[in-house]
Amino acid sequence: MHKDQLLLLLLLLLPRSFSIAIENNQCTTSCGEVANISFPFRLKGDPTVCGDPNYELACINNRTVLDLYSGKYYVRSIDYTNYTIWVADVGLQKGDCSSLPLRSLSCHSFWLHPNSYECGDYTFYGRELSKTVSIVNCSKAVASQFYIDTLSCLDGVKFSNFSSTRRRLYAMVDANVSYVETACTIELMAMIPGWVDGDDLRSYAQIHEQMVYGFELSWLPIVAEMHCKHRYWDIIGKHQIRCGPKSKNF
């Protein structure tokens, strides 16, 4: 490959370029537990200069909320050194394992409908950002360590009519779709932190705890976009992206 076609970059050097809007004191910088809201994020209602329109958050009842694919997620924290935002579905309630996410979400949603966030990427971070939990609906009991019974939590609660039809609901962590029994269909997907070891999750209550805890998304797309000045870019390794030679306008 040609030397000047490639630019190897250490993204951790980048945050300096984002101070543009931060000094504008018309920008709301905190909402509830999120004490550091700054570029590229901005709160709804703040001047446009405060952030990028693709990274708008809302402050509702003293909680920071991210709208994503018609779902709503509480923002737990934002990390500006590794470009990650920590979120959890608003439907999930701590201590109530019958509470479910309002919306099904997995990294597939991000791949099918690319948006302003990266999901589950491990090349850049050297580890997965999130794992997927699939809630499957099976027409028979499945005896397998990969199928974790949800009985004490989900039995007849939110999924109506399930007990009456003798179907059973299980949770699977990072399910390989080709392993899902033909007797089962995936009803709902949710995300948990990438650093959780699926083998440590023995009960649905434990899985639920991780769902409540939430998952990380990364806003690398805009960081790379700005750094590469609207050329194409690639993630090529831990904390490294590569800017392509071509402008996106062609």
Ligand X SMILES: *[C@@H]1O[C@H](CO)[C@@H](O)[C@H](O)[C@H]1NC(C)=O
CA angle 106-109-110, nearest 5°? 105
> How many residues belong to the chain?
250
Q: What is the CA radius of gyration of the chain?
A: 20
Residue that is written with structure tokens 């779709």 in the block: 177
Among 74, 159, 170, 215, binds ligand X (CB under 6 A): 159
Closest CA to 39 of 178, 31, 54: 54
The span from the CA of 241 to the CA of 250, in Å, is 21
130 binding ligand X? (CB under 6 A): no
Cβ nearer to ligand X, comparing 45 with 245: 45
CB contact at 8 A, 108 and 121:
no
17 binding ligand X? (CB under 6 A): no
Among 145, 178, 182, 249, binds ligand X (CB under 6 A): 178
Residue that is written with structure tokens 């399930």 in the block: 162
Residue nearest to ligand X (CB): 159
187 binding ligand X? (CB under 6 A): yes
Q: How far is the CB of 124 from ligand X (least distance, A)?
A: 8
Among 32, 91, 198, 244, binds ligand X (CB under 6 A): 32
- By CB under 6 A, name the binding residues for ligand X: 15, 32-33, 36, 38, 62, 79-80, 82, 84, 125, 129, 137, 159-162, 165, 167, 169, 176, 178-179, 185, 187, 216
